[in-house]
Amino acid sequence: AQKITQTQPGMFVQEKEAVTLDCTYDTSDPSYGLFWYKQPSSGEMIFLIYQGSYDQQNATEGRYSLNFQKARKSANLVISASQLGDSAMYFCAMRGYQKVTFGIGTKLQVIP
Amino acid sequence: SQTIHQWPATLVQPVGSPLSLECTVEGTSNPNLYWYRQAAGRGLQLLFYSVGIGQISSEVPQNLSASRPQDRQFILSSKKLLLSDSGFYLCAGWGGAGETQYFGPGTRLLVL
């Protein structure tokens, strides 16, 4: 069975600062993928970044980077230089054999 | 990349009425398709997924059903809606290993 744990229900960050959103996972699948999505108040799910379990380097997409520590089963999202538009819910997810499992999310609020 | 279409965007239905939400996919063939429900302020709950035409897996026993009559069409249905069926319904598609799961814009369902 797959499990995603996000332990931060809410986070605050000052504009232009960096913030780390935590995600740990558990799976018995030898091959898996890890995702982060952003969900603004409009409800749409916006794909941010993807990390494959066999990728040697941490994924980066613009201001987003994924701190992948396989031995610790963690896949934290780092947002650099936070902007007001980054205020949203953030979901960590894991792709297994056929399904994608989501965490409960972290609400990020960027303070001017 | 995939594009996921969902309609309607918003739906208000009386208790006991039937439901049919449609999801269609562009840009890929033979995708895995998923229906999620999100209660207000909560995470995503996987309802159904399909790996091919006519193949439906149910994750949570409930008042809903799903069908996949065509490769790129996924339908969520109910014969009689309950108040507890209210929520935000998201359809998602996944093209396979190494690819990202993309989401449709979602349908907000309010059962009164």
The burial class, CB within 10 Å (0-12 / 13-18 / 19+), for A105 is: buried
Per-residue confidence band for B11, with pLDDT thresholds at 50, 70 and 90: very high
The reported pLDDT for the residue numbered B98 is 60
Question: Are B44 and A99 in contact (CB < 8 Å)?
Answer: no
Q: A88 pLDDT exceeds 70?
A: yes
State how far the Cα of B64 lies from the Cα of B80, in Å rounded to an integer: 9
State how far the Cα of B6 lies from the Cα of B44, in Å rounded to an integer: 17
The number of angstroms, rounded, from the C-alpha of B5 to the middle of its chain's C-alpha atoms is 11
- The 10s digit of each residue's pLDDT in A41-84 is 989 999 999 999 998 899 999 999 999 999 999 999 999 999 99
Q: Which long-range contacts (CB under 8 A, 24 or more apart) does A50-56 make?
A: A50/B100, A51/A75, A52/B98
Calculate the average pLDDT of chain B.
91
- The 10s digit of each residue's pLDDT in B46-97 is 999 999 999 999 988 678 999 999 999 999 999 999 999 999 999 999 876 5
B 88-107 residues inside an 8 A Cβ radius of A: 88, 90, 92, 94, 97-98, 100-103, 105-106
The C-alpha angle B106, B107, B111, rounded to 5 degrees, equals 150
Question: Are B42 and A43 in contact (CB < 8 Å)?
Answer: no
Question: Are A44 and B103 in contact (CB < 8 Å)?
Answer: yes
Mutate to test the interface with B, among A29, A38, A45 (most CBs of B within 10 A): A45
Residue with tokens 């980066």: A60
What count of other Cβ atoms lies within 10 Å of the Cβ of residue B105? 15
